Structure 1
Amino acid sequence: MAKGKAKGPKEKTITLKTAKNSIRVSFDGGLRLDLSKMGITTFPKCILKLTDVNELDLSRNMIKKIPSSIEKFEKLRWLDLHSNQLEDLPEAIGTLQNLAYLNICNNKLTTKNLPEKLILLKNLRVLNLGLNCLDSIPTTLGSLKELREIGLFDNALTTIPKSVKNLPKLKKLNAERNPFPDSTKQEEQDDSIKHKETLHLVQEKDLCSSCLKMCRGERDKLNELKNMTPSPSKKPSFSLLLTPNSSAKDNQEEWRVRGEHP
């Protein structure tokens, strides 16, 4: 008797009761629904009755699609979808105006399938797109002026738009392990060096009183050190000697004379 095809892992059904029992109070007092690592393969429709949560964690599952109904989670500030099987995201994700954190790392997202309305998330501070299949980054992401951190590591990127690199509040951009050409790497190094060189070029009038006092104190210490250190070009003086070795010379002359007249 022929054996049937091997069955895949059985999908775990998430009931409304299970979902309610997975709600916790987050550190800032919000409601967090944590359904991570539960073997979910499809977005559980029952959680659409729990749209008052502020944080939603569906990470480390096997979800392939996020429905447009995600827009019902209007209070979401934190959405974690990393380590799933997502190939695209719905345009409706752009309606989540309160979203500050979005992690879609370690999926199967391509540049083509990134939703255009991602740029509507004006309050987004952290965006993780690492470990996907991105070959470019839309220049329009430069309109997300509140971004502090962007993860772009482990993709197929050859360049990063200046509109993204120059975001006003950006503190961390992780783009490691991408096939950047050497010229791009050198350009990024030069930009970094230029930034460091101009970082401290400020006028005294632009400093607060405490910073100005500290800078003046450091400057005074530096001047003291300069005054204490003798100049290399200045010859040492010997006030008590005619020449540096005059005493030794006189002693040698005395012994020479004695040797000639025993």
Structure 2
Amino acid sequence: MAKGKGKGPKGKKITLKTAKNSIRISFDGGRRLDLSKMGITTFPKCILKLADVDELDLSRNMLKKIPNSIEKFQKLRWLDLHSNQLEELPKTVGTLQNLFYLNICNNKLNSKTLPEELNLLKNLRILNLGLNCLDNIPSTLGALKELKELGLFDNFLTTIPKSVKTLPRLQKLNAERNPFPEPKKEEYIDPIKRVESLYLVQEKDLCCSCLKTCQEERGKLSKLKNTMSCPSKKLSFPLLLTPNSTAMDNQEQWRLKDEHL
């Protein structure tokens, strides 16, 4: 067997020099370490020496795991890990208290490998969990009171916890293309069928109040019946002539003229 056969791709090795050259200044003056689309398969340990950056972009690589040492990036406000092959996230991600943007979309995370420690990110504004393998969302995410945008699209969710849907600052929730059950349609029930039993009694068996009510209802029914059975009056239009009557008058005038000629 050839050496190395059966192993995954080695990927590009990132040196400290390469990482330093990948630092950019963001629009608000922060330092951004951009290692996206670099073909990285293993988290480069050398970047731990650059842990004072404000933003870290490792998106569009082939990473399967993020180490616990991610906790060293305490200044991070922006962490982009989308479009990798991540199967789990470390619990230490919950220590990044300054984080306001976290994108882990398009990975292989499931509900068991999504750490509950995400609920510790009290300053998080944007969280993207779309395009993963999640079949449920922990209700503890309801602790993210500052969250404004939440992406849950293209997962296997059948429900979203109320604590998440009612987050006080949530403005955008994208949960499209999940197998949510269709809302049940209300079954139509015939009002007549709602009457379980009907009893016929004689007037002498009714109390005064019930007898009076029945008589009033019977009177209303009789009045309505008489109104509907009354033939409608024939409408007359004395000032209008029918076409046939006009034609007959004209014919009579012409006949008289012919006789005098």
Same fold per TM (> 0.5)? Answer: yes
Supply the distance in 1 between the matched residues of 2:179 and 2:44 (Cα, whole angstroms): 37
Give 1:150's aligned amino acid: L
Q: 1:119 to 1:4 in 2, by over 3 A?
A: closer
**SS at structure 2 position matched to 1:182:** coil
Residues 1:105 and 2:105 aligned together? yes
**SS at structure 1 position matched to 2:173:** strand
Give 2:162's aligned amino acid: K
Residues 1:52 and 2:52 aligned together? yes
Residues 1:12 and 2:34 aligned together? no
Could you report, residue by residue, the CA deviation over 1:32-91 in whole angstroms, capped at 9, with x for unpaired residues?
100011111111111111122111000111112211221111111110011112121111
Report the equivalent of 1:87: 87
Give 1:96's aligned amino acid: L
Supply the distance in 1 between the matched residues of 2:181 and 2:46 (Cα, whole angstroms): 47
Identity %: 73
**SS at structure 2 position matched to 1:56:** strand
Q: 1:100 to 1:4 in 2, by over 3 A?
A: closer
**Conserved in 1, the CA contact under 8 Å of 2:76 and 2:99?**
yes
Supply the distance in 2 between the matched residues of 1:20 and 1:4 (Cα, whole angstroms): 33
Supply the distance in 2 between the matched residues of 1:19 and 1:54 (Cα, whole angstroms): 14
**Conserved in 1, the CA contact under 8 Å of 2:94 and 2:119?**
yes
Supply the distance in 2 between the matched residues of 1:81 and 1:51 (Cα, whole angstroms): 16
Report the equivalent of 2:32: 32
Report the equivalent of 2:174: 174
TM-score (norm 2): 0.69
More helix by share: 1
Report the equivalent of 1:150: 150
Supply the distance in 2 between the matched residues of 1:126 and 1:177 (Cα, whole angstroms): 20
Supply the distance in 1 between the matched residues of 2:27 and 2:132 (Cα, whole angstroms): 30
**Conserved in 1, the CA contact under 8 Å of 2:110 and 2:133?**
yes
Residue 4 of structure 1 deviates from its aligned partner by 5.7
Residues 1:140 and 2:144 aligned together? no
Residue 260 of structure 1 deviates from its aligned partner by 5.9
Supply the distance in 2 between the matched residues of 1:58 and 1:70 (Cα, whole angstroms): 12
Q: 1:177 to 1:258 in 2, by over 3 A?
A: same
Report the equivalent of 2:120: 120
TM-score (norm 1): 0.69
Off by >2 Å, runs of 4+ in structure 1: 2-11, 251-262
Supply the distance in 2 between the matched residues of 1:3 and 1:76 (Cα, whole angstroms): 42
Q: Which has the larger radius of gyration?
A: 2
Supply the distance in 2 between the matched residues of 1:142 and 1:37 (Cα, whole angstroms): 33
Residue 116 of structure 1 deviates from its aligned partner by 1.7
Supply the distance in 2 between the matched residues of 1:182 and 1:64 (Cα, whole angstroms): 35
Q: 1:21 to 1:169 in 2, by over 3 A?
A: same
Q: 1:261 to 1:54 in 2, by over 3 A?
A: farther
Residue 11 of structure 1 deviates from its aligned partner by 2.8
Report the equivalent of 2:162: 162
Supply the distance in 2 between the matched residues of 1:169 and 1:156 (Cα, whole angstroms): 25
